[in-house]
Amino acid sequence: MKKAITTFVFLVLLFAASESVFSQTLYFCEGVDDSGYPISSSETFYISRSGGYFYFLVRLPYEIQCTAVSYEIYEVDHYGSETYNTVIDQTGMSKSWVWFWKKVTFYQSGYYHVYVRDCYNYVLTDAYVKILYK
């Protein structure tokens, strides 16, 4: 029985580790290095009242198989309800890409939920970001 429990715990940990290593991820960051990794990744960014930018970096465990994606941005209120804000398209991609980034400028503070959709309209990944005024 003890061996079965140990094996079960090991398999759960192995699955959790593989999910984090091989899952689609959206990072919000101050830059992207030449290998496609985030520079100063965060879930909170400070912008001036005239606006500020940061990067959306998407990393996938497979090739995108699309030449375009869209970033759907929703503002999230204090109750968790989402209101459509905008969509930003990214074109000119290679179908073999496993990571890609987009520089995005925000002009309003708030709490946002970003969905990344591929050319087939499937959600690849999503994440939340908080934007505050300096």
pTM reported for the whole predicted model: 0.82
CB atoms within 10 A of CB 129: 22
Torsion (CA) 119, 121, 127, 128 in degrees, nearest 10: 120
Domains and their CATH numbers in the chain: 26-133 (2.60.40)
Per-residue pLDDT of the chain (134 residues), as tens digits, is 555 444 443 443 444 443 444 689 999 999 999 999 999 999 999 999 999 999 999 999 999 999 999 999 999 999 999 999 999 999 999 999 999 999 999 999 999 999 999 999 999 999 999 999 99
9: CB partners within 8 A, 6+ apart? none
